[in-house]
Amino acid sequence: GAVVSQHPSWVICKSGTSVKIECRSLDFQATTMFWYRQFPKQSLMLMATSNEGSKATYEQGVEKDKFLINHASLTLSTLTVTSAHPEDSSFYICSAWLAAYNEQFFGPGTRLTVL
């Protein structure tokens, strides 16, 4: 099957620092990847659509200068949380679109805790 990995699986950082999360499609190429945020006991909220070689498309209310997305290759998208604050603590999940299956494949998620 199509496998998507995320790294790290969890991270703790100090307030004011930046954190980078990687999302990789391991056995397929993905021109489109998605980044979601999930609060405890709540649903996944789409943050942005990441397109290889072009700028990400952010959902309404998501600060593009705070959540930097780079999709530099067909197998890697990164999400950088800049100047993180405790309210950025959350579970971040990525997915990669596999056109042949017409389906998104999800990574296992990254838990970010900002102290």
Partner 1 sequence: GNSVTQMEGPVTLSEEAFLTINCTYTATGYPSLFWYVQYPGEGLQLLLKATKADDKGSNKGFEATYRKETTSFHLEKGSVQVSDSAVYFCALSGGGAQKLVFGQGTRLTINP
What residue ranges bind partner 1 (CB under 8 A)?
4, 32, 34, 41-46, 49, 93, 95, 97, 103-109
Cβ proximity to partner 1: between 49 and 113 the closer is 49
Nearest approach, Cβ of residue 46 and partner 1 (Å): 6
Nearest approach, Cβ of residue 83 and partner 1 (Å): 27
Cα 52 from Cα 87, distance rounded (Å): 29
User: Which residues, in sequence order, are bridge partners of residue 111?
Assistant: 10, 91
Cβ proximity to partner 1: between 70 and 106 the closer is 106
Cα 75 from Cα 94, distance rounded (Å): 12
Nearest approach, Cβ of residue 23 and partner 1 (Å): 11
Cβ proximity to partner 1: between 3 and 115 the closer is 3
Nearest approach, Cβ of residue 19 and partner 1 (Å): 20
Cβ proximity to partner 1: between 86 and 102 the closer is 102
Cα 48 from Cα 26, distance rounded (Å): 21
Residue 43's φ and ψ, nearest 5 degrees, are -80, 175
11 burial (CB, 10 Å; 0-12 / 13-18 / 19+) is: middle
